[in-house]
């Protein structure tokens, strides 16, 4: 894995958890708007919208650079629209990055020809 691919995956990973948190907070704010006089939906909506757009941009870049198949790309997209999916995406991306790092070190040390 080259440095640009690793960077693309890292960016996607770093934005996935905050995007999930903002989605959950937006849902809470929506409930509070309906049940109380508290209305933070416009602010949380904007924050979540910006993070979601960043997630989509980083997802497209990671898909292009990592050469994911359609199934993997679709999985990460579906995780972006589920309320807690960003947490699962972050964990899966972290494992993928660790596996790529281990494989890269093994190739550099001549342990495997992977």
pLDDT of residue 37: 92
Cα distance between residue 73 and residue 82, in whole Å: 15
pLDDT of residue 100: 75
pLDDT of residue 88: 94
pLDDT of residue 52: 95
pLDDT of residue 112: 62
Token pair recorded at residue 74:
């679709």
Low-confidence ranges of the chain (pLDDT < 70): 1, 112-114
């Amino acid at each position: 894995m080259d440095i640009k691919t690793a960077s693309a995956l890292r960016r996607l990973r770093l934005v996935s958890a905050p995007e999930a948190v903002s989605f959950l907070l937006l849902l809470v704010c929506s409930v509070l708007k309906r049940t109380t006089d508290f209305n933070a939906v416009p602010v949380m909506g904007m924050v979540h919208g910006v993070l979601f757009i960043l997630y989509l941009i980083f997802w497209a870049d990671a898909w292009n650079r990592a050469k994911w198949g359609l199934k993997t790309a679709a999985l990460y997209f579906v995780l972006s629209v589920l309320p807690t999916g960003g947490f699962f995406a972050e964990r899966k991306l972290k494992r993928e990055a660790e596996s790529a790092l281990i494989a890269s070190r093994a190739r550099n040390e001549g342990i495997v020809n992977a």
